[in-house]
Copies of this chain bind each other. A is one copy, B any other.
Amino acid sequence: MAYRAAIVGGSGYTGAELLRLLAGHPEIEVVHVTADSNAGNRVVDLYPSLVAAYADLVFHPFEPGDLDGVDVAFLALPHGQSQRHAGTLVDRVAHLVDIGADFRLPADAYEQWYGEPHQAPELIDRFVFGLPELFRPDFAGHAHVANPGCYPTAASLALAPLLAAGLVEPTGLIVDAASGISGRGRGLSAPSLYSEANENVAAYGLLTHRHTAEMELALGRLSPTSSASVLFTPHLVPMTRGILATCYARPTTEAAALGTDGLLAHYRDFYAGEPFVAVLDQPPATKSTAGSNTVQVTVRYDGRTNTVLAISAEDNLVKGASGQALQNANLLLGLPETLGLPTVGLVP
């Protein structure tokens, strides 16, 4: 294999998903995996599903020196930890892909939404916001990537064609989204229990979910006014994987003139050639994207209430996390962007 990869914080779900995807990647080999809480255990003791690919891989405690000479390191750490380690790693490892939230926002926005000052504000600019379909040119001149959050990936891809073309007002955007339980990670907490989550739908994080900031940042950059405001309501639904983002926006007169057919055509143009975005006539379904790096999108214009409706579906652990991280790693390494990334969902 051409490239050597490490995963820092590999015992959680995004780490395991990276291992699953990299098991099928022809040019990147996993040479090191850390997990402080599981250090010394074999990976397959935690994830027997990986036995055919990583029979002997063992979790190590995190030691920066162990990453020397690695081509790419994926950081799959709880928020706040990457910023503490990045100073040590940023010049030691050729490419960092931070799957966490630490380098996605400017320092002031980070402090506002996370309630604490950023520990390494001087490094933030060295990370590109890794949403290639919207910001691929930004990769030039960047060695490291801040991988977007799961909800912002889905919502931004649903709404981007509207904002970029000035078809909706950039304020008053509503993102009403549903996520599978794996979005809460592998940590132990009552709402993650099967008996609590099963046969249940509920909203959470009302008005205050931190992913709001990423959505406003990404969509604001696309907007003619350079800003956007979003009300974001996430929900938990009883499934393991998947995010559906149902988004509402107030159309400009141009969008009203286009109507649903014109908007769908605009979306197809906007995403032409993108291997991981499928624009559909019918409503997207999370199941269609399970295990794949594909995002499905559709759009409608409602003349009765003068509203634009845009919907997207993705697998929160793939395009919403580890798959997009691998897509970003491919870009950083100069590999074909699609290498090792499935585009067909596990159906049924």
Contact = CB atoms under 8 A, between A and B. Distances in A.
A13 to B, nearest CB: 6
* Size bin of chain A's contact surface: 35 or more
Interface of A: 13, 16, 19-20, 23-24, 47-53, 171-172, 174, 176, 178, 180-182, 184, 186, 188-190, 192-204, 206-207, 229-231, 233, 235, 237-242, 244, 246, 248, 275, 278, 280, 282-292, 294, 296, 300, 302, 304-305, 307, 309, 311, 313, 317, 342-348
Contacts of A288: 47-49, 51
23 contacts: A13-B195, A24-B344, A48-B285, A48-B296, A49-B289, A51-B294, A52-B275, A176-B248, A178-B237, A180-B195, A188-B188, A188-B189, A194-B196, A196-B287, A198-B238, A199-B239, A199-B241, A200-B242, A200-B286, A202-B313, A207-B309, A229-B304, A290-B346
Contact of A348 (B16, B50, B248): B16
B178 A348 contact: no
Q: Which 9 A-B pairs have the closest CB atoms?
A: A52-B343, A49-B345, A200-B287, A195-B348, A202-B285, A49-B288, A188-B188, A49-B347, A181-B194
A195 to B, nearest CB: 4
Contacts of A184: 195
